[in-house]
Amino acid sequence: MEGVALDILGPLPKSKNGHRYILVMCHLFTKWTEAYPLPDQEAQTVAKAIVDCFVSRFGTPLQLHSDQGTNFQSKIFQELCDLLHIKKTRTTSMHPQANGTVERLNRTLTAMM
C-alpha cells in the first residue's frame, strides 16, 4: 500500500464493547477501506490500532494522509511514522475537502448506521 488516508469518525453511541469511535483507513489508489472500532481517539489508541489491525495485515504504507486532529499530530504518532518510515502528510486547517476520499466514506458509514 502506497498512500493511505485516515480519519476518525465519532463520537458515536457506545457499543456493547465500549467503542465510541471508528478509525477509517482508505487506500488512495484502489479505495479499499478498513474501519476499526476504538474506545477513544487518543493518539496511543489510534497508533496501536494502525499497527495491530492495518500494518499487521497489509504491511507498512509509504504515506499516511490525515486531517490536523491532535491525535494525528501528537508526538506518539510522529514517532510511529518515524519508526516505520512512513511519510506523514496532512490537510490544511479548516479544509476537510483535502481529505475528501475518507470524509465521503465517513458520510456513507454514518448514513448506514
Instruction: Give the pTM.
Output: 0.86
Cα(9)–Cα(55) distance, rounded to whole angstroms? 20
For 69-77, the CB contacts below 8 A with 24+ separation are 69/7, 69/8, 69/41, 70/43, 71/8, 71/41, 71/42, 71/43, 71/46, 72/6, 72/43, 72/46, 74/43, 75/43, 76/43, 76/44, 76/47, 77/43, 77/46, 77/47
Ranges of the chain whose pLDDT falls below 50: none
pLDDT of residue 97: 57
> In the prediction, which pLDDT does 67 show?
86
| Greatest C-alpha distance within the chain | 36
What are 81-95's pLDDT values in tens digits? 999 999 999 886 665
